[in-house]
Amino acid sequence: MSSANSTKMGSFSEKMGQIEDSATLSVMGKVKGLIAQGVDIINLTAGEPDFSPPQCVNDAAIKAVQNGMGRYTPSAGLIELRDIVAKSIRNEIGIEYQAENVVVCNGAKIAIVQALMAILNDGDEVLIPFPCWTSYPEMVKLAGGVPVMVACDENMLPDMSALDAACNKRTVAILINTPSNPTGVVFPKDFTRELGEWCLAKGLRIISDEMYCALTYNGIEHHSPLKLVPELQKTSAWIGGMSKSFAMTGWRMGFFAGPKDWAAIVGRIQSQLAGSPNAIAQQASMAGLSHGMAEREAMRLEFEKRSKLIAAGIDAIEGISCPEPQGAFYCFVDISSLIGLTDESGITINSGDDFSKVLLEVDKVATIGGSAFGATNHFRISFAASETELERALEKLSSRVSTLLTSGKN
Ligand SMILES: Cc1ncc(COP(=O)(O)O)c(C=O)c1O
């Protein structure tokens, strides 16, 4: 064998070499490892509820196993589940989907990747307002596209004039997320309509990630651009799933919903990539969507209490600030006024990542530094943790900030 061939045998895809590891999952993994070794850490990294799924979900899964239902299903998912998902989107979001518009996927993450694979040709551009969920740019790259990152405005909403400037003839889609991970911001109704109308005028598809749509607080309502600008339903896609609002992260159930032609291609891609979605989790999801709404609401109310606790706690700490979480279960904290300070830990705060590092190493409070979401001077707190843990974390956070402000030198 020639040396040229042996070099080829040892090499990997250049395209895949550009894909970053999920920053949030890697920090969460490290923190879970430290906790397993017995280190006492308050873990506020989690992008997952600390609750159990509704009882009917667990019961349905056990019954499905006992009844031998763990076989392949149709590749786009069981028609009964697709029907229930369509009905729930009709009732809760107001978009007139039928079963044929829906593809059940093994998590919303792969639903988004498959949606992108279905529409992108090499080099096509996708607008991504940031701060954003860490996976979006990598997903676009995985699907052969080019992510175009566009900074949000001071209210953490997509900046319309910046989007306008970034849009060109190679732009085919925009990836948006409301309620937002990591900012907790919910797009207001008028803004959502304006954004939808702009996309329609520009001929852009929207992939509207509404994963946290059932988790909004204090009377704030969720709005979908696909409902407010119905014409978009012909070309745009809606993404949701069971992970966050039903506490089913590990069950891997996400939903693509969109025009029938797009759904058919997503189904075909899935038939080759996954074969079919998890059969047992599909039975459990049908039970959850049909009978688990009261427990879903109980979890939302619990998150709402925590959102108030964490917002009030941060508000009381001079030197840091965050927009009040309106949805999802994250608080995105601005630490700009601590930049340049160094305290006894010896770490100089040059970014939200540095601050998050001090919190972990010195105070044993785990959070996610803002660079994972494209924001330098922020860090993310997940309030998917008990009130006791949140209170303990707030105390430590408060004393860390006051130490930095009083004794920190720059
Ligand atoms: C905004 C957003 N979309 C989608 C997902 C993916 O969810 P799933 O667990 O269904 O893959 C997440 C998970 O963190 C998320 O935060």
> Which atom of ligand 1 lies nearest, measured to the CA of 209?
3
Q: pLDDT value at position 18?
A: 83
Cα(343) to ligand 1 centroid in Å equals 36
Mean pLDDT in residue range 49-66: 97
Cα(246) to ligand 1 centroid in Å equals 13
Q: Which pairing describes strands 254-257 and 237-241: parallel, antiparallel, or unpaired?
A: antiparallel
> Which atom of ligand 1 lies nearest, measured to the CA of 112?
4
Cα(339) to ligand 1 centroid in Å equals 31
Ligand 1 site residues, Cβ closer than 6 angstroms: 47, 107-109, 133, 177, 181, 209, 211, 241, 243, 249, 254
Tens of pLDDT along 144-182? Answer: 999 999 999 999 999 999 999 999 999 999 999 999 999
Q: What is the mean pLDDT of the chain?
A: 94
Q: pLDDT value at position 30?
A: 81
**pLDDT higher than threshold 90 for residue 311:** yes
Mean pLDDT in residue range 308-325: 94
Query: What letter does residue 351 receive in the DSSP assignment?
Result: S
Cα(124) to ligand 1 centroid in Å equals 23
Mean pLDDT in residue range 91-95: 97
Tens of pLDDT along 185-218? Answer: 999 999 999 999 999 999 999 999 999 999 999 9
> Which atom of ligand 1 lies nearest, measured to the CA of 47?
14
Query: How far apart (Å, rounded) are the C-alpha atoms in residues 89 and 256?
Result: 11
Q: pLDDT value at position 284?
A: 98
Q: pLDDT value at position 365?
A: 95
Domain boundaries, the chain: 12-52+295-407, 55-290
Q: pLDDT value at position 323?
A: 86
Torsions phi, psi for 7 (to 5 deg): -65, -45
Q: Which pairing describes strands 171-177 and 125-130: parallel, antiparallel, or unpaired?
A: parallel
Cα(108) to ligand 1 centroid in Å equals 6
Compute the CA torsion angle 163, 328, 56, 263 (nearest 10 deg).
0
Tens of pLDDT along 115-149? Answer: 999 999 999 999 999 999 999 999 999 999 999 99
Residue with the smallest CA separation from ligand 1 atom 7 is 108
Query: How far apart (Å, rounded) are the C-alpha atoms in residues 210 and 179?
Result: 7
Query: pLDDT band at 302, cuts 50/70/90?
Result: very high
Q: List the single range of 167-181, 267-281, 339-353 with lowest mean pLDDT.
A: 339-353
Long-range CB pairs of 229-233 (<8 Å, 24+ gap) are 229/193, 229/196, 229/197, 229/199, 229/200, 230/95, 231/200, 232/196, 232/199, 232/200, 232/206, 233/95, 233/96, 233/258, 233/259
SS3 191: helix
**pLDDT higher than threshold 90 for residue 346:** no
Q: pLDDT value at position 252?
A: 98
> Which atom of ligand 1 lies nearest, measured to the CA of 111?
11
The better pLDDT of the pair 211, 38 is held by: 211
**pLDDT higher than threshold 90 for residue 5:** no
CA-wise closest residue to 254 among 297, 211, 292, 223: 211
Global pTM value: 0.95
Cα(66) to ligand 1 centroid in Å equals 30
The gap from C-alpha 91 to its chain's centroid, in whole angstroms, comes to 23
Q: pLDDT value at position 3?
A: 53
Mean pLDDT in residue range 343-356: 88
Contact 131, 370 (CB under 8 A): yes
Task: Give start and end residues of each alpha helix (H) in 67-159.
Answer: 79-92, 108-119, 136-142
Q: Which of 106, 133, 187 to mutate to test the pocket of ligand 1 (most atoms within 8 A of CB)?
A: 133
Q: pLDDT value at position 410?
A: 60
**pLDDT higher than threshold 90 for residue 368:** yes
Amino acid at position 9, single letter? M
Percent of the chain with pLDDT over 70: 98
Cα(110) to ligand 1 centroid in Å equals 9
Q: pLDDT value at position 17?
A: 84
Contact 242, 278 (CB under 8 A): no
Query: pLDDT band at 34, cuts 50/70/90?
Result: confident
Mean pLDDT in residue range 347-355: 92
Tens of pLDDT along 217-270? Answer: 999 999 999 999 999 999 999 999 999 999 999 999 999 999 999 999 999 999
Q: pLDDT value at position 4?
A: 53
Cα(109) to ligand 1 centroid in Å equals 6
Contact 178, 192 (CB under 8 A): yes
Q: pLDDT value at position 19?
A: 81
Mean pLDDT in residue range 307-320: 96
> Which atom of ligand 1 lies nearest, measured to the CA of 254?
10
Q: pLDDT value at position 288?
A: 98
Class of the CATH-defined domain 12-52+295-407: alpha beta
Residue with the smallest CA separation from ligand 1 atom 14 is 47
Contact 275, 267 (CB under 8 A): no
SS3 154: coil
Residue with the smallest CA separation from ligand 1 atom 2 is 211
Q: Give the helix/strand (H/E) hosting 9.
A: helix 3-9
Q: pLDDT value at position 7?
A: 64
**pLDDT higher than threshold 80 for residue 345:** no
Cα(143) to ligand 1 centroid in Å equals 17
CATH code, 55-290: 3.40.640.10
**pLDDT higher than threshold 70 for residue 347:** yes
Mean pLDDT in residue range 307-323: 95
